[in-house]
């Protein structure tokens, strides 16, 4: 999707770093005297833990497949400067994932899985310093009931009026309609390269 392919390639080399593990807690053999019994206390009710409420999207932007896809492209596009990350977050269902795919220096294919918040934190500094405009060039849609899958062909430019994009690729987008609005569930993308040119069928119109 909307992470710059160049930025992704830069960070891909550290994608599969070894996980940091916490110290292993070991039981000692020394016997510790048991503390004196505490006086009986009045039982208390454990407060329930609830998930944070999602950001509220504009009803118009979440009303249709067309509108939410248009909002997704629009919210990350613009001249150098801050993006409206609250608007960005509002498009995604809680637990949604953004997955960038690319080729590592070893030639292996890797991926980086992010939440909407991860994406905002990782790419916010870049957008503040660099112009980035991404538009949908073509689309293929499959839908059934409350779910939809979009193969959205994207073009990325540094400036809105650049004659040619510096990157093209496919955003594979999964959507859910909960009966009230559309939500983005997953955005999974790969940029075009010499080994994987975009087929003509993904460059022609929308259906």
Domains of the chain: 57-195 (3.10.450.50)
Q: Return the biggest CA–CA distance within the chain.
A: 79
pLDDT of residue 206: 80
* pLDDT recorded at residue 43: 39
Residues 170-200: tens digit of each pLDDT? 999 999 999 999 999 999 999 999 999 999 9
The pLDDT of residue 11 is above 70:
no
The confidence band for 29, taking pLDDT boundaries of 50, 70 and 90, is very low
At residue 14's C-alpha, the angle toward residues 10 and 17, to 5°, is 175
25 or 165, which is more confident = 165
Q: What share of the chain is helix, strand, coil (3-state, %, to 5)?
A: 20, 30, 45
For residue 10, pLDDT over 50 is answered with no
Task: Give per-residue pLDDT as tens, 121-175.
Answer: 999 999 999 999 999 999 999 999 999 999 999 999 999 999 999 999 999 999 9
**Of 202, 204, 92, 206, the residue nearest 143 (C-alpha):** 206
CB 165 within 8 Å of CB 159: no
- R_g of the chain computed on alpha carbons: 23
150: enclosing H helix or E strand: strand 147-157
- Check whether 30 has a pLDDT greater than 70: no
Residues 64-97: b if buried by 16+ CB within 10 A, e if exposed: ebebbbebbbebbbeeeeebebeebbbbbbeebb
Q: What is the pTM of this model?
A: 0.75
Question: pLDDT averaged over the chain?
Answer: 81
| Average pLDDT of span 15-37 | 33
Q: Dihedral (C-alpha) 23, 29, 30, 33: value to the nearest 10 degrees?
A: 90
What percent of the chain has pLDDT above 90?
A: 67
Give the Cβ contact number of residue 112 at 10 Å. 19
Say which residues have a Cβ less than 8 Å from residue 206's Cβ, sequence separation at least 6: 138, 139, 140, 141
pLDDT score of 105: 87
- pLDDT at position 72 over 90: yes
Per-residue confidence band for 65, with pLDDT thresholds at 50, 70 and 90: very high
Q: What is the pLDDT of residue 41?
A: 38
Instruction: Order the strands of the 92-103 sheet from edge to edge.
Output: 109-114, 92-103, 182-191, 167-177, 147-157, 133-144
Q: Where are the alpha helices (DSSP H) in the chain?
A: 5-12, 65-76, 85-90, 116-129
For 41-54, write each residue's pLDDT tens digit.
333 444 444 445 56
Instruction: Give the closest residue to 189 by CA, choosing from 39, 80, 73.
Output: 73
């Amino acid at each position: 999707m909307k992470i710059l392919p160049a930025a992704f390639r830069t960070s891909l080399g550290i994608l599969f770093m070894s996980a940091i593990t916490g110290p292993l807690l070991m039981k000692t053999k020394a016997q510790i005297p048991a503390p004196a019994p505490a006086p009986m206390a009045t039982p208390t009710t454990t407060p329930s833990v609830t998930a944070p409420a999602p950001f509220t999207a504009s009803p118009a932007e979440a009303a249709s497949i067309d509108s939410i896809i248009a909002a997704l492209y629009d919210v990350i596009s613009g001249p150098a400067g801050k993006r409206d990350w609250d608007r960005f977050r509002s498009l995604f269902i809680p637990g949604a994932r953004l997955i960038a795919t690319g080729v590592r220096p070893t030639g292996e294919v890797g991926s980086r899985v992010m939440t909407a918040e991860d994406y905002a934190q990782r790419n916010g500094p870049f957008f503040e310093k660099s112009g980035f405009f991404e538009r949908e060039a073509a689309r293929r849609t499959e839908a059934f009931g409350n779910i939809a899958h979009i193969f959205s062909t994207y073009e990325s430019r540094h400036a809105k009026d650049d004659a040619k994009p510096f990157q093209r690729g496919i955003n594979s987008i999964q959507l859910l309609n909960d009966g009230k609005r559309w939500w983005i569930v997953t955005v999974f993308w790969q940029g075009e390269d010499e080994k994987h040119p975009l087929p003509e069928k993904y460059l022609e119109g929308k259906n």
